[in-house]
């Protein structure tokens, strides 16, 4: 009886923690149980010590509910300890951490994500006006772009494309219509960048920069009315071309440490003495700088003569400086690899600017860093993630097509198991990346500024794109390596490091920002605890701390229990919000979310302020958060698409790959746990029966390869939103050949069956003739086979050049030999 009751008591304790039943209700339930049990002594012999022990445990728990008592005994003491161990944050770190909002990341940090909330979010959509723009001007612009001409011959966009971009409002997508801009949603902005990126990275970067963090975005949020009225219509119409200069040679990733200065002073401006700043800067890598007419500049403002008050170091500030201002040096170009968008340095020495050139005017002097951090999320979640997804979509489209067109050993290379693997990674990753892109855009369009999610998107979608393009290169073999107008991969491959490095270099974003900011912002208690102990140590602060601390303790206990019970039941204890083959993944993600929240807390509690310097642990925990988010996005997308059964392999690949990545990252944390003994206990709690996830199966891999190697709705959905050329250019030829090869397939199979010989480029004329004469195929089929073989040969062809041209001895703008001439050689 005693054993039975003890089991009942422990089970109740676990379930109360698992379901996060409030403390007072939990105590009432446990006290009721203890009382009922003591009453049983009239019927059964129950040892008195046991009854007393349970009573003491219940009373102790009740003690936690009496706030003055627990403050006296526990939280006031811990308050002083926390004040010592909490990391000291600089003001720039604090502003970066506190910027933006939290969204689905907070649910993942809770260890108990509310899936119905996610599924209730609206599905992504575009307005009719936005769709018209994408089908009209964006399509037209894509048609004006020739990658080879732009990158290798002219090293610039054609003048007609520049004009078209300016005249059609591409630079004003984020500017409201009242200022003459397009006033597009985040979904539309991303759709434009995705489509342009799929055609030409240079054009995409040129368009994305004014619509990302820069003068437009800063003016919209912080500009004075006069500044908005003056600049926004000029930016929207393309009359002004903006750039934004933050990075200097000394301060790259640590942009807050910039040495560029603005000294408050008085000087003559347009014939009058005015208050302003004498600004000195030396910036590099600035996109659009060589052609910019309006320079957005970040510098640190000082007031040594006390013209504004007692503060000497006013802090980072942002100003808008017309590029033709005397003393502004601008115009030289850097040459980034793989793309030829305008990028270059800018310098200035003691350039006087009046105070009303500071964005937001004098009252915003010194607030530049906060302004930048608060505006960072939107652009970072749109521009480079869209470029990354375009890379994945194009890799899916073109690599699948090429792997179907190119045959070796009489078999399309995509049918070899070895090639199926990279094909499936390309398709699976692209599906996952696109899902994360659209989910984050849903948040943006609801007015959120999700700082952590935008960092996840920037990191994972550029990294994912890099993996897709590397796999695409492998599948293409020599075709991807030899440069020329026939190569549609080379520039994307060469330009990969750009998106990895800019807007927060990826190593830093993964190992410092994602979990570092997530732990503080998205954690339900940590920021409250930090704020309480970092301010003045009064009784109000202690009360706030006490509440946050005990919520935190309850939260950690609950996640420990949830991790254990979900581990023991393989996730089956938690409900899924849907039915169907994907329901189990909701459960697995709930399980891993609990494990993540539990382990993250354990690491943070053990390391305290030292965590800031443990980037390897932070990077692994970031991997967990990233994959929890990406996998959530997959489930949302599948539901939004109406659960198409044909897309299941893509869903399964993404889920299995993400769950495996989460498991490996958690094991990495456990193996390197700050206290190894605790690490071993944590492992038993989280993975009581070993490691449940092993990545996508071979069956899933083959199923995805088949999607990419054929025409089907899954492939269309996966690659939706990219520019598909129907011209006789590098990508147009692949598309055409792909469709012809598929159409000619039945006839080629019939020839092989009847004549026991496979059709290829060398023998097709003779074989087709014999097959037609013997009635194996019709005349119409014969034409199809011929066209398919000729189109394939043109795709497989690569360019070659006269040696003098390769050596740069003749005009590089000379066109190389026609590709079909080289095909037969
Ligand atoms: C093509 C291009 C366009 C650009 N456009 C603009 C622009 O328009 N405006 C603008 O202001 N800037 C722009 N930049 C600058 C860009 O944002 C910086 O290059 C970037 O911030 C990184 O700085 P860095 O190159 O000096 O690298 P570094 O800061 O020297 O970093 C080198 C490496 O160290 C890593 N690292 C640094 N600190 C840490 C840390 N604490 N933890 C872990 N890893 C760390 C980084 O991740 C990176 O991998 C552009 C850069 C390029 C190349």
pLDDT tens, position by position, 409-439 = 999 999 999 999 999 999 999 999 999 999 9
pLDDT digits (tens, 9 = 90+) for 100-136: 899 999 999 999 999 999 999 999 999 999 999 999 9
Q: Residue 789's pLDDT is what?
A: 97
pLDDT digits (tens, 9 = 90+) for 295-329: 999 999 999 999 999 999 999 999 999 999 999 99
For a mutational test of ligand 1's pocket, the pick from 218, 462, 495, 508, i.e. the residue with the most ligand atoms closer than 8 A to its C-beta, is 508
CB atoms within 10 A of CB 59: 12
What's the burial of 458, exposed, middle or buried (CB within 10 Å: 0-12/13-18/19+)?
buried
- Closest ligand 1 atom, CA of 341? 1
Q: Is 462 helix (H, G, I), strand (E, B) or coil?
A: helix
Is the CB of 168 inside a 6 Å radius of any atom of ligand 1?
A: no
For a mutational test of ligand 1's pocket, the pick from 501, 613, 616, i.e. the residue with the most ligand atoms closer than 8 A to its C-beta, is 501
Residue 450: DSSP 8-state: B
- Closest ligand 1 atom, CA of 254? 29
- Non-local (6+) Cβ contacts of 381 within 8 A are 186, 440, 441, 443, 444, 450, 453, 454, 457, 458
Is the CB of 253 inside a 6 Å radius of any atom of ligand 1?
A: yes
How far is ligand 1, taken at its centre, from the CA of residue 505, in Å? 5
Please report the sign of the dihedral spanned by the C-alpha atoms of residue 457, residue 463, residue 469, residue 475. Answer: negative
Which string of DSSP letters, residue by residue, matches 19-77?
A: TT--HHHHHHHHHHHHHHHHHGGGTS---HHHHHHHHHHHHHHHHHH-HHHHIIIIIHH
How far is ligand 1, taken at its centre, from the CA of residue 351, in Å? 26
- Non-local (6+) Cβ contacts of 503 within 8 A are 212, 213, 379, 380, 383, 384, 458
Q: Is 37 helix (H, G, I), strand (E, B) or coil?
A: helix
- Strand residues in 308-412 grouped as ranges (E): 313-322, 329-330, 343-354, 407-408, 411-412
Is the CB of 274 inside a 6 Å radius of any atom of ligand 1?
A: no
Which residue's CA is minimally distant from atom 4 of ligand 1?
Answer: 285
Which residue's CA is minimally distant from atom 16 of ligand 1?
Answer: 502
669/667 Cα distance (integer angstroms): 5
How far is ligand 1, taken at its centre, from the CA of residue 248, in Å? 10
Which residue's CA is minimally distant from atom 11 of ligand 1?
Answer: 246
pLDDT digits (tens, 9 = 90+) for 73-97: 888 888 888 887 777 777 777 787 7
Q: Is 411 helix (H, G, I), strand (E, B) or coil?
A: strand
How far is ligand 1, taken at its centre, from the CA of residue 797, in Å? 38
Is the CB of 508 inside a 6 Å radius of any atom of ligand 1?
A: yes
Which residue's CA is minimally distant from atom 26 of ligand 1?
Answer: 252
- Non-local (6+) Cβ contacts of 118 within 8 A are 104, 107, 632, 635, 636
**Angle in degrees, 0-180, between the axes of helices 539-568 and 2-18, rounded to the nearest 10:** 120
Which residue's CA is minimally distant from atom 40 of ligand 1?
Answer: 508
31/474 Cα distance (integer angstroms): 66
How much of the chain, in percent, has pLDDT values that exceed 90? 80
Q: Are 99 and 376 in contact (CB under 8 A)?
A: yes
Q: Residue 611's pLDDT is what?
A: 84
For a mutational test of ligand 1's pocket, the pick from 93, 213, 247, 615, i.e. the residue with the most ligand atoms closer than 8 A to its C-beta, is 247
140/41 Cα distance (integer angstroms): 86
How far is ligand 1, taken at its centre, from the CA of residue 252, in Å? 5
Q: Which candidate, 583, 326, 627, places its Cα nearest to that of 459?
A: 627
Is the CB of 615 inside a 6 Å radius of any atom of ligand 1?
A: yes
Is the CB of 220 inside a 6 Å radius of any atom of ligand 1?
A: no
Q: Which candidate, 255, 231, 237, places its Cα nearest to that of 320?
A: 231
Is the CB of 343 inside a 6 Å radius of any atom of ligand 1?
A: yes
Is the CB of 321 inside a 6 Å radius of any atom of ligand 1?
A: no
How far is ligand 1, taken at its centre, from the CA of residue 815, in Å? 36
529/365 Cα distance (integer angstroms): 31
**Angle in degrees, 0-180, between the axes of helices 201-208 and 368-405, rounded to the nearest 10:** 160
- Residues carrying an active site annotation: 503
Q: Which candidate, 427, 513, 419, 412, places its Cα nearest to that of 467?
A: 427
501/217 Cα distance (integer angstroms): 21
Which residue's CA is minimally distant from atom 12 of ligand 1?
Answer: 247
How far is ligand 1, taken at its centre, from the CA of residue 507, in Å? 10
Q: Are 513 and 100 in contact (CB under 8 A)?
A: no
How far is ligand 1, taken at its centre, from the CA of residue 453, in Å? 20
- Helix %, strand %, coil % for the chain, to 5? 65, 10, 25
378/390 Cα distance (integer angstroms): 18
How far is ligand 1, taken at its centre, from the CA of residue 497, in Å? 11
Q: Which helix (H) or strand (E) is 282 found in, with range?
A: strand 272-287
How far is ligand 1, taken at its centre, from the CA of residue 345, in Å? 14
Which residues on adjacent β-strands are paired with residue 286?
A: 344
- Closest ligand 1 atom, CA of 209? 8
622/95 Cα distance (integer angstroms): 20
Is the CB of 507 inside a 6 Å radius of any atom of ligand 1?
A: yes
Q: Which helix (H) or strand (E) is 272 found in, with range?
A: strand 272-287
Is the CB of 800 inside a 6 Å radius of any atom of ligand 1?
A: no
> pLDDT below 70 — which residues of the chain?
50-51, 809-825
How far is ligand 1, taken at its centre, from the CA of residue 384, in Å? 14
Q: Which candidate, 511, 531, 498, places its Cα nearest to that of 623?
A: 511
614/243 Cα distance (integer angstroms): 35
Which residue's CA is minimally distant from atom 21 of ligand 1?
Answer: 253
For a mutational test of ligand 1's pocket, the pick from 205, 252, 335, i.e. the residue with the most ligand atoms closer than 8 A to its C-beta, is 252
How far is ligand 1, taken at its centre, from the CA of residue 181, in Å? 30
Q: Residue 821's pLDDT is what?
A: 43
Is the CB of 783 inside a 6 Å radius of any atom of ligand 1?
A: no
Is the CB of 505 inside a 6 Å radius of any atom of ligand 1?
A: yes
Q: Are 822 and 797 in contact (CB under 8 A)?
A: yes
For a mutational test of ligand 1's pocket, the pick from 505, 506, 515, i.e. the residue with the most ligand atoms closer than 8 A to its C-beta, is 505
Is the CB of 497 inside a 6 Å radius of any atom of ligand 1?
A: no
Is the CB of 208 inside a 6 Å radius of any atom of ligand 1?
A: no
Is the CB of 93 inside a 6 Å radius of any atom of ligand 1?
A: no
808/644 Cα distance (integer angstroms): 53
């Amino acid at each position: 009886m005693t054993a039975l009751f003890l089991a009942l008591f422990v089970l109740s304790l676990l379930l109360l923690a698992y379901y996060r039943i409030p403390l007072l209700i939990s105590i009432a339930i446990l006290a009721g149980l203890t009382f009922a049990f003591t009453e049983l002594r009239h019927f059964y012999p129950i040892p008195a010590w046991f009854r007393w022990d349970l009573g003491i445990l219940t009373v102790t728990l009740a003690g936690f509910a009496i706030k003055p008592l627990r403050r006296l005994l526990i939280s006031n003491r811990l308050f002083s300890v926390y004040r010592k161990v909490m990391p000291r944050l600089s003001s720039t770190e604090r502003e970066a951490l506190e910027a933006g909002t939290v969204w689905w990341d907070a649910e993942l940090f809770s260890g108990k994500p509310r899936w119905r909330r996610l599924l209730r979010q609206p599905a992504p959509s575009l307005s009719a006006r936005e769709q018209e723009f994408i089908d009209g001007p964006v399509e037209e612009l894509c048609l004006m772009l020739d990658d080879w001409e732009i990158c290798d011959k002219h090293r610039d966009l054609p003048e007609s494309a520049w004009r078209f971009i300016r005249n059609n409002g591409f630079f004003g997508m984020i500017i409201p219509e009242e200022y003459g801009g397009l006033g597009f949603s985040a979904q539309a902005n991303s759709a434009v960048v995705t489509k342009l990126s799929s055609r030409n990275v240079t054009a995409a970067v040129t368009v994305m920069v004014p619509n990302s963090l820069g003068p437009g975005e800063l003016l919209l949020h912080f500009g004075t009315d006069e500044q908005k009225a003056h600049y926004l219509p000029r930016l929207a119409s393309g009359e002004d071309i903006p750039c934004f200069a933050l990075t200097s040679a000394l301060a790259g990733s640590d942009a807050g440490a910039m040495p560029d200065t603005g000294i408050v002073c008085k000087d003559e401006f347009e014939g009058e003495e005015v208050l302003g700043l004498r600004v000195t800067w030396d910036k590099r890598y600035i996109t659009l700088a060589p052609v910019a007419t309006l320079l957005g500049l970040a510098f640190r403002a000082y007031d040594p003569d006390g013209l504004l008050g007692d503060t000497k170091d006013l802090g980072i500030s942002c100003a808008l400086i017309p590029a033709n201002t005397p003393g502004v040096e601008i115009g030289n170009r850097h040459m980034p690899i793989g793309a030829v968008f305008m990028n270059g340095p800018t310098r200035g020495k003691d350039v006087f600017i009046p105070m009303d050139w500071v964005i937001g005017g004098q009252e915003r002097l010194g607030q530049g860093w906060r302004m930048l951090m608060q505006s960072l999320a939107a652009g970072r979640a749109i521009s480079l993630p869209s470029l990354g997804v375009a890379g994945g979509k194009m890799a899916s489209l073109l690599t699948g097509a090429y792997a179907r067109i190119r045959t070796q050993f009489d078999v399309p290379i995509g049918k070899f198991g070895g090639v199926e693997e990279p094909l499936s990674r390309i398709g699976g990753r692209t599906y996952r990346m696109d899902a994360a892109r659209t989910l984050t855009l849903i948040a943006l369009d609801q007015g959120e500024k999700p700082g952590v999610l935008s960092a996840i998107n920037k990191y994972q979608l550029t990294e994912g794109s890099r993996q897709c393009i590397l796999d695409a290169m492998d599948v293409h073999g020599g075709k991807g390596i030899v440069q020329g107008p026939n190569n549609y991969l080379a520039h994307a491959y060469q330009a990969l490091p750009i998106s990895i490095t800019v807007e927060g270099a990826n190593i830093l974003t993964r190992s410092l920002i994602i979990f570092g900011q997530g732990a503080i912002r998205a954690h339900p208690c940590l920021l409250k605890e930090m704020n309480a102990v970092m301010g003045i140590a009064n009784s109000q602060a202690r009360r706030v701390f006490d509440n946050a601390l005990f919520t935190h303790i309850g939260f950690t206990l609950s996640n420990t229990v949830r991790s254990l019970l979900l581990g023991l039941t393989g996730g089956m204890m938690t409900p899924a919000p849907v039915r169907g083959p994907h329901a189990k993944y909701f459960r697995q993600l709930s399980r891993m979310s609990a494990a993540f929240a539990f382990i993250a807390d354990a690491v943070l509690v053990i390391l305290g302020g030292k965590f800031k310097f443990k980037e390897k642990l932070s990077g692994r925990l970031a991997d967990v958060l990233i994959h929890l988010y990406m996998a959530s996005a997959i489930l949302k997308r599948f539901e939004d698409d109406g659960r198409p059964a044909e897309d299941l392999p893509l869903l399964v690949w993404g889920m299995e790959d993400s769950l495996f990545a989460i498991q490996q990252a958690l094991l990495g944390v456990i193996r390197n746990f700050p206290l190894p003994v605790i690490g071993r206990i944590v492992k038993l709690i989280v993975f009581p029966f070993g490691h449940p996830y092993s990545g996508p199966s071979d069956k899933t891999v083959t199923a995805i390869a088949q999607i990419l190697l054929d025409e089907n709705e899954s492939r269309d959905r996966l690659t939706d939103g990219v520019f598909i050329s129907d011209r006789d250019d590098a990508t147009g030829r692949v598309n055409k050949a792909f469709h012809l090869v598929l159409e000619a397939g039945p006839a080629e199979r019939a020839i092989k069956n009847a004549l026991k010989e496979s059709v290829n480029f060398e023998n097709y004329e003779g074989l087709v003739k014999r097959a037609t004469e013997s009635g194996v195929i019709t005349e119409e089929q014969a034409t199809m086979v011929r066209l398919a073989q000729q189109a394939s040969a043109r795709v497989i062809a690569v360019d070659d050049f006269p040696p003098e041209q390769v050596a740069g001895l003749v005009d590089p703008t000379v066109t190389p030999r026609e590709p079909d001439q080289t095909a037969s050689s």
